Structure 1
Amino acid sequence: MERQDVTTIVLFEVPAQHASRFLSDWTASNDFMKQQSGLIDGTLYATADDNARYRFINVARWASETDLAEARKRHWEHLEAPSVNQREAWKTLGITVTPVNYAMVIIYSGTERAIEEEPR
């Protein structure tokens, strides 16, 4: 039985001088991925820490691992097209991509109001 609702976390190592180029390329890639079947939602995060290993992290939820696998396959084929060739360009710029899939284990939330401590 296939697990449903898979979360993929993609870590991007991006040299600071190529952050703008990365965002431009990522936006184009995201436009492609948003057209794929099974995408629920996602968020791209950026760090303000210039010393962080991963400058950008993308977190996306997909309806199933099958949907994600098919979308990634089509995406990589698209990126390797001679008119795009993003994979080779990113390699030249020192941009690396590390995708990892996760299944939900625990859902948690914070309190909405502060709890005042009793005076001692």
Structure 2
Amino acid sequence: MTNPVGHTQAGVDTPVTLINAFSVPLSQGDRFLSRWQENASFMVGAPGFRRARMYRAMSERAEITFVNVAEWEAGTALDEARRNPQWQASVQRVLEDPELDVVARPMVYEVAVEYTPEPR
């Protein structure tokens, strides 16, 4: 059974990053990734979507086993994409999957400080 955590509305016209940390038993990792890819496929074509990456922990001791980082041109674009009924149904399939025990921690962030390499 999945433990859902609510989504925060971004509500801004500036770039945002959605970071979602997942706790997933290692034995369910492949099933989780399959469900996540289905879910992400609805976001890829949404206006304002820049890119998404899913990171997998390299240690079996990790409490947070997967981290999704998705970049959006604007928070309002992310908010609109979340209204997509197909995406909502895909999320529901994850929540109702009896073979998944997932805790998700989604949160929207904006850049507070940024460093880039100095030109050489």
Per the normalisation by structure 1, the TM-score is 0.77
Larger of the two Rg values belongs to structure: 1
Matched with 2:48 is: 38
Identify which of structures 1 and 2 has the higher relative contact order when contacts are C-alpha pairs closer than 8 Å and 6+ apart. 2
- Alignment partner for residue 88 of structure 1, among 81, 88, 96? 96
1:93/1:110 CA distance change after superposition, 3 Å: same
Structure 1 segments unaligned to the other structure (5+ residues): 114-120
* Structure 1 position 69, deviation (Å): 1.3
Gaps of 5+ in 2: 1-10
Deviation at 1:79, TM superposition (A): 3.2
Runs ≥4 residues deviating over 6 A: none
Which of residues 66, 71, 76 in structure 2 aligns to 1:66?
76
Report the 3-state secondary structure (helix = DSSP H, G, I; strand = E; otherwise coil) of the residue aligned with 1:45: strand
Residue 38 of structure 1: CA displacement? 1.1
1:104 aligned partner: 111
CA distance in 2, matches of 1:96, 1:18: 12
How many Å apart are 1:89 and its aligned residue? 0.7
2:11 paired with 1:4: no
- In structure 2, C-alpha distance between the alignment counterparts of 1:99 and 1:38, rounded to whole Å: 19
Deviation readout 1:2-22 (Å, 9 max, x if unpaired):
341111101111101000101
- Whether 1:18 and 2:25 are equivalent positions in the alignment is no
Query: What is the aligned length?
Result: 108
- Is 1:28 matched up with 2:38? yes
Aligned residue type for 2:112: V
RMSD: 2.3
Identity %, equivalent residues? 30
Per-residue deviation, residues 34-78 of structure 1 (Å, max 9, x unmatched): 021211112111111111111110111111111111212322244
* Distance in 1 (alpha carbons) for counterparts of 2:118 and 2:26: 36
